[in-house]
């Protein structure tokens, strides 16, 4: 039996009088690869920012299974990270090392072991050769891999990604999703926001279709056979 | 060059020159250490705003016949917190909040100087800086405070870097970005107050901005940017002090002009590198 990593119960969130999320309830199980989809303004980013503790207060309950996915074992690739200031003077190594800061108590200095961890994750993601390159001089795909390395260097159990491939061309996007699938096979639970349901459908095992409230939550096979959803995305049963 | 050597030797015999170089170099390091965070977070103008506030606080100190350093530091820190609060709570964006506080402070400074006769000359020396006004007490306080600023930045370096690159990701890591922003404001306030002795309230922000922007032209990493900006800033202070002594020029303005020349040089180097 699978363990629930995150349980969300009756979550409601408003900005002033504008209700962004209404009565959201779902569970994420260990090893899940969950795709969160929905139109612009549907509350996808708000939902994961609430899960990450970045915004609040909210009504309802969010329960993390501390043994599997406490706050120290979360990785995050934020939206728009790829479009950050290209003149920013930082090497890939400097950026990736920051992913280890959540594990540091008191004085947040890096040890030799930390730099070894950075090297290992860079090798694993195939970007070790870029270690000393300035982040702003890299291609979009390389930057996104570096940011994935930053999220993965602390060996998290849950990985959140918010539209990680929106600025990448189709080939690079496929490569990126393949890497994510490999990470998921190693046991990391993945929660991925995407506009591009057709690109992620072969990788995710669950879909959460959100439009301020949950329209659909369940396995992709059921999702594609859901009449309303299929109509919305123009998916035929052969997809 | 030979004809200037005796003048440089003569300058080295002067206590005020040595004090200026020591205090100036320490401020050069602390402002370079802070500058990278302020410039990259697009908060460069906070140095300018706080310098204007320090003009008012110096006027208050002179009116009360107290040490400008001791009166200014807490008042400028409070003003920097007020700027942050206006930004956070009153929906007044950072640059507008800086504009509000700094113009208000200038008005207070001008009013105080107009109603109280007798210290306008002193106040003028704080406007454009003068190494002649650095007392031994100032020297000791400046050394201690500059070292504290540099040490605190070194201790929080990795958290500061993480927040500067990606504040949202840093928050997910559990880094308290609000605390770090208040810390940067406090350290900037101290550095600005120390720096106005050398370059004055009108020019201190250039010591925070110029060396970092100069280093950004050629550096690839965060560490190297801080190193290059510190070296450029120290050289500017030392050269500026000697040149101002030899040619009888205002020290603060000379330091800023040399910083400007370094920027131009590094900018051209980057352009040449890119063309090749």
pLDDT of residue A60: 93
| Residue A9 is assigned to a structural domain of this protein | yes
- Better-predicted residue by pLDDT, B128 or A194: A194
pTM exceeds 0.90, yes or no: no
**B201-210: b or e for each residue (b if 16 or more CB lie within 10 Å)?**
bbbbbbbbbb
User: How does residue B67 score in pLDDT terms, banded at 50, 70 and 90?
Assistant: confident
Q: What pLDDT was estimated at residue B241?
A: 93
Residue B118 has pLDDT above 70, yes or no: no
| Residue B188 Cα distances to A143, B194, B205, angstroms | 32, 10, 10
**Backbone torsions φ then ψ of A190, nearest 5 degrees:** -120, 135
- What pLDDT does A123 receive? 96
> Is A201 domain-assigned?
yes
pLDDT digits (tens, 9 = 90+) for B241-250: 999 999 999 8
Residue A239 in any domain: the answer is: no
Domain count, chain A: 1
DSSP string, B19-87: HHHHHHHHHHHHHHHHHHHHHHTT-THHHHHHHHHHHHHHHHHHHTT--HHHHHHHHHHHHHHHHHHHH
What percentage of chain B exceeds 70 in pLDDT? 97
pLDDT at residue number B243:
94
- Does a structural domain hold residue A155? yes
Domain contains A80: yes
Q: Residue B91's pLDDT band (boundaries 50, 70, 90)?
A: confident
Count of structural domains, chain B: 1
CATH of the domain at A180: 3.40.50.300
CA-CA distance, B36 to B216, in Å (whole number)? 9
The mean per-residue pLDDT over the stretch B30-38 comes to: 93
Pick A98's closest partner by Cβ from B161, B216, B223: B161
Q: What is the mean pLDDT of chain B?
A: 89
Q: Does the pLDDT at position B252 exceed 80?
A: yes
Task: Specify the CATH number for the domain of residue B71.
Answer: 1.10.3470.10
**Distance in Å, alpha carbon of A200 to nearest chain B alpha carbon:** 24
Q: Which residues of A194-216 are buried (b: 16+ CB within 10 A; e: fewer)?
A: beebebbbebbbbbbbbbbebbb
What integer pLDDT is reported at residue A83 of this predicted model?
66
Q: What is the pLDDT of residue B139?
A: 84
- Cα end-to-end span (Å), chain A: 30
CA B71/CA B182 separation, integer angstroms: 20
- Per-residue pLDDT of B44-60, as tens digits, reads 888 889 999 998 999 89
Short-list B46, B59, B44, CA closest to B107? B59
Position B65 scores a pLDDT of 86
Domain contains A93: yes
Partner residue facing B172 (CB), from A74, A84, A95: A74
Q: Which residues of B touch A (CB under 8 A)?
A: 36, 40, 155-156, 158-159, 161-162, 165-166, 168-175, 215-216, 219-225
* Confidence at B226, pLDDT banded by 50, 70, 90: very high
Residue span of the structural domain in which A122 resides:
4-233
| A150 lies within 8 A of chain B by CB | yes
B152 within some domain: yes
B220–A54: do the CB atoms touch at under 8 Å? no
Q: Beta-carbon neighbour count of residue B44 at 10 Å?
A: 17
Cβ of residue A134 closer than 8 Å to a chain B Cβ = yes
**Could you tell me if residue B276 is inside a domain?**
no
- Whole-angstrom Cα distance, residue B23 to residue B17? 10
Higher pLDDT, B67 or B192: B192
- Put simply, whether A106 touches B (Cβ < 8 Å) is no
**Mean pLDDT, residues B78-104 taken together:** 84
**Residues B160-207 pLDDT 10s:** 999 999 999 999 998 999 999 999 999 999 999 988 877 888 788 889
Residue B125 pLDDT: 79
Distance CA B61, CA B72 (A): 7
Chain A nearest-CA distance from B268, in A, is: 16
Does a structural domain hold residue A238?
A: no
Q: Which residues of B touch A81 (CB under 8 A)?
A: 166, 169
Grouped pLDDT means (10 residues each) for chain A, 239 residues: 84 91 93 92 93 91 73 82 77 96 84 95 95 92 93 94 85 90 94 86 91 89 75 59
Q: What is the pLDDT of residue B42?
A: 85
pLDDT of B217 above 90: yes
Task: Quote the domain boundaries for residue B129.
Answer: 2-271
Helix (H, G, I), strand (E, B) or coil at B197: coil
Task: Looking at the complex, report in whole angstroms how far the Cα of residue A236 sits from the nearest Cα belonging to chain B.
Answer: 38
Distance CA B143, CA B100 (A): 32
């Amino acid at each position: 039996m699978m363990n629930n990593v995150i349980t969300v119960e009756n979550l409601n969130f408003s900005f002033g009088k504008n209700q962004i999320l209404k009565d959201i309830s779902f569970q994420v199980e260990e090893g899940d690869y969950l795709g969160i989809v929905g139109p612009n303004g549907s509350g996808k980013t708000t939902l994961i920012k609430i899960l990450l503790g970045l915004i609040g207060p909210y009504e309802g309950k969010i329960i993390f299974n501390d043994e599997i996915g406490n706050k120290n074992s979360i990785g995050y690739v934020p939206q728009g990270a790829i479009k950050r200031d290209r003149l920013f003077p930082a090497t890939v190594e400097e950026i990736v090392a920051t992913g280890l800061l959540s594990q540091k108590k008191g004085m947040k200095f890096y040890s030799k072991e930390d730099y070894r961890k950075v090297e290992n994750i860079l090798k694993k993601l195939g970007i070790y050769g870029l270690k000393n390159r300035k982040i702003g001089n890299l291609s979009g795909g390389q930057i996104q891999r570096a940011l994935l390395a930053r999220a993965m260097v602390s060996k998290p159990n849950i990985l959140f990604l918010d539209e990680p491939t929106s600025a990448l061309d189709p080939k690079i996007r496929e490569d990126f999703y393949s890497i994510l699938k490999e990470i998921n096979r190693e046991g990391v639970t993945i929660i991925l926001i995407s506009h591009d349901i057709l690109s992620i459908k072969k990788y995710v095992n669950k879909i959460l279709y959100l439009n301020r409230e949950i329209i659909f939550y369940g396995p992709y096979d059921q999702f594609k056979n859901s009449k309303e959803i299929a109509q919305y995305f123009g998916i035929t049963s052969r997809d | 060059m030979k004809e200037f050597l005796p003048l440089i030797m003569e300058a080295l015999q002067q206590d005020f020159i040595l004090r200026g170089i020591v205090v100036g170099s320490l401020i050069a390091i602390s402002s370079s250490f802070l500058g990278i965070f302020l410039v990259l977070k697009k908060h460069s103008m906070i140095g300018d705003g706080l310098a204007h506030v320090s003009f008012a606080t110096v006027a208050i100190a002179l009116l009360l016949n107290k040490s400008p350093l001791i009166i200014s530091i807490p008042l400028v820190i409070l003003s920097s917190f007020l700027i942050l609060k206006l930004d956070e709570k009153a929906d007044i964006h950072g640059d507008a909040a800086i504009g509000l506080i700094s113009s208000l402070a200038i008005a207070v400074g001008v009013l105080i100087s107009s109603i109280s006769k007798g210290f306008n000359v002193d106040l003028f020396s704080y406007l454009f800086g003068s190494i002649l006004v650095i007392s031994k007490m100032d020297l000791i306080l400046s050394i201690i405070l500059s070292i504290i600023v540099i040490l605190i930045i070194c201790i929080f370096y990795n958290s500061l870097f993480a927040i500067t690159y990606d504040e949202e990701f840093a928050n997910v890591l559990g880094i308290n970005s609000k605390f770090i922003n208040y810390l940067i404001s406090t350290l900037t306030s101290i550095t600005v107050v120390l720096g106005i002795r050398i370059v004055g309230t009108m020019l201190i922000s250039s010591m925070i901005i110029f060396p970092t922007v100069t280093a950004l032209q050629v550096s690839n990493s965060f560490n190297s940017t801080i190193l290059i900006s510190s070296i450029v800033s120290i050289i500017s202070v030392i050269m500026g002090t000697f040149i101002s002594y030899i040619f009888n020029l205002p020290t603060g303005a000379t330091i800023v002009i040399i910083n400007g020349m370094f920027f131009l040089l590094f900018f051209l180097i980057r352009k040449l590198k890119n063309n090749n």
